[in-house]
Amino acid sequence: MKKASLQDIATSLKVSKSLVSFVINGLGDEKGIKSETQQRVLKRARELNYKPNFIARGLRLGKSNTIGLIVADISNNFYAKIARRVEEVASARGYNVIFCSSDEDEKKEVGLIEMLRERQVDGLLISTTQKGSSFFTQLKKEQFPFVLFDRQLPRLNTNYVGVANFEAARDAVDLLIRNRYHQIGLLKISPSHLSSVREREAGYREALKNNGLRFHSDLVKEISYENIYNETHQALTQWVQRELPVGAIFTINNNIAVACLETLRTLHMRIPDDVALISFDDIDLFRLVHPSITALAQPVEDIGERAVNILLDLIEDENQQKMRHEILPARLISRGSCVCTKPDSDQPVEGESVLVKNKSEHNHYVNI
């Protein structure tokens, strides 16, 4: 069946194509078109099942009321929740969202950005996998609106929303050490150049240093994004066979933590009796398994809401020059996977948070 056009509506009503265009695009009142005529046009458009060409409309009006969201993996619980909040806020402000996954592939991410720009999106929200900042520097020169979230780029001054990764990781590992866990393994995800990965590893190292513990390179394993389960299994098997086996594991994200649960079960190791476990990222599963899993919970909905509001403000105010760089707190939820007590106390801290100063330049506070 032939798709109905503006000309079809105009011909059937014996009016001009431009009049129909004004009504369809919500400019009827501005152009002085009678309300009765506008209603006739809209009714006829429904009868003909007219579907507007949003790309063409965006070219005409210079605005499509559509934004793009690019993440590593939209199926990941962390990104899925952010996407949901972004969609809710964008919809309330009159915008649609196109979702894309980069699969941690730099070239694919660039291709997705170019594709979305060809589709006339008004701006982009990106959790980038890029190693360098040159591509986004060019976007800035072109004054194309975008906001980075979760991951930032070195030497790029741009709008960003994320969490205090360094402080959260440092204080979580510090809590383990204060509770006599000294052989602590770190499982990080590739690519290792991602700012979130680097900051969390730096926090791990800082906690060891602050407590006078030596850093052991064999207690840090990089797990590839494409082969999480097998490489986690290999790492834990090696750690179990060490002369001093690991007493605790700190994972950089929830996917690796889930792989740990599966692996430890196959190795017949009990949590927390044989090994403690803390995950950066909290998911519903961690509350439901036995024992429940201690995790650093990120303010996921707040990240999504702030990032999309910053982007839409940029889109709607082209003269806005001030960069917004927002660092939010993460909260350590203590559960059954590690036996931890507060400093100077014998009482377990399950479900509690201890407030710690974020000593970064942003001078926020971090819930740990």
Task: Return the CATH number at 23.
Answer: 1.10.260
Whether residues 285 and 305 fall in one domain = no
Whether residues 248 and 201 fall in one domain = yes
Q: Which two tokens stand for residue 326?
A: 């927002």
**360: domain range?**
165-299+329-367
Whether residues 218 and 346 fall in one domain = yes
Please give the angle made by the CA atoms of 8, 14 and 18, to the nearest 5 degrees.
65
Q: What is the CATH number of the domain that holds 102?
A: 3.40.50.2300
Whether residues 102 and 247 fall in one domain = no
User: Could you tell me if residue 197 is inside a domain?
Assistant: yes
Residues 6+ apart with CB under 8 A from 91: 97
> What is the domain count for the chain?
3
User: Could you tell me if residue 80 is inside a domain?
Assistant: yes
Whether residues 246 and 337 fall in one domain = yes
Q: What is the pLDDT of residue 95?
A: 94
Whether residues 354 and 232 fall in one domain = yes
Sheet strands side by side (includes 276-280):
220-223, 184-189, 248-251, 276-280, 294-297, 331-333
Whether residues 224 and 159 fall in one domain = no
User: Could you tell me if residue 273 is inside a domain?
Assistant: yes
Q: Answer yes or no: are the C-beta atoms of 337 and 276 closer than 8 Å.
A: yes
User: Could you tell me if residue 1 is inside a domain?
Assistant: no
Distance, CA of 235 to CA of 246 (rounded, Å): 11
Distance, CA of 61 to CA of 29 (rounded, Å): 17
Nearest partner of 253 among 129, 89, 78, 104, judged by Cα:
78
Q: Answer yes or no: are the C-beta atoms of 365 and 200 closer than 8 Å.
A: no
Q: What is the pLDDT of residue 105?
A: 94
Handedness of CA 18, 20, 26, 30 (dihedral sign): positive
DSSP annotation of 188? E
Strand, helix or coil for residue 210: helix
Q: What is the pLDDT of residue 2?
A: 66
Phi-psi region of 317 (alpha: psi -120 to 50; beta: other; left: phi over 0): beta
Distance, CA of 360 to CA of 164 (rounded, Å): 8
User: Could you tell me if residue 257 is inside a domain?
Assistant: yes
User: Could you tell me if residue 99 is inside a domain?
Assistant: yes
CA dist 82 → 61, 85, 210, 303 (Å)? 29, 5, 34, 7
Phi (first) and psi of residue 332, to 5 degrees: -85, 115
Q: What is the pLDDT of residue 274?
A: 94
Whether residues 311 and 286 fall in one domain = no
Q: Which residues of the chain have pLDDT under 50?
A: 343-368
Q: What is the pLDDT of residue 56?
A: 57
Distance, CA of 56 to CA of 319 (rounded, Å): 26
Whether residues 286 and 196 fall in one domain = yes
Distance, CA of 198 to CA of 157 (rounded, Å): 18
Whether residues 170 and 109 fall in one domain = no
Q: What is the pLDDT of residue 126?
A: 98
Whether residues 173 and 295 fall in one domain = yes
Nearest partner of 308 among 76, 62, 92, 77, judged by Cα:
92
Peptide bond into 191 cis (omega under 30): yes
User: Could you tell me if residue 57 is inside a domain?
Assistant: no
User: Could you tell me if residue 158 is inside a domain?
Assistant: yes
Distance, CA of 215 to CA of 196 (rounded, Å): 20
Whether residues 197 and 251 fall in one domain = yes
- Length of the chain measured in residues: 368
Whole-prediction pTM: 0.78
Q: Answer yes or no: are the C-beta atoms of 324 and 289 closer than 8 Å.
A: no
Q: Answer yes or no: are the C-beta atoms of 181 and 338 closer than 8 Å.
A: yes
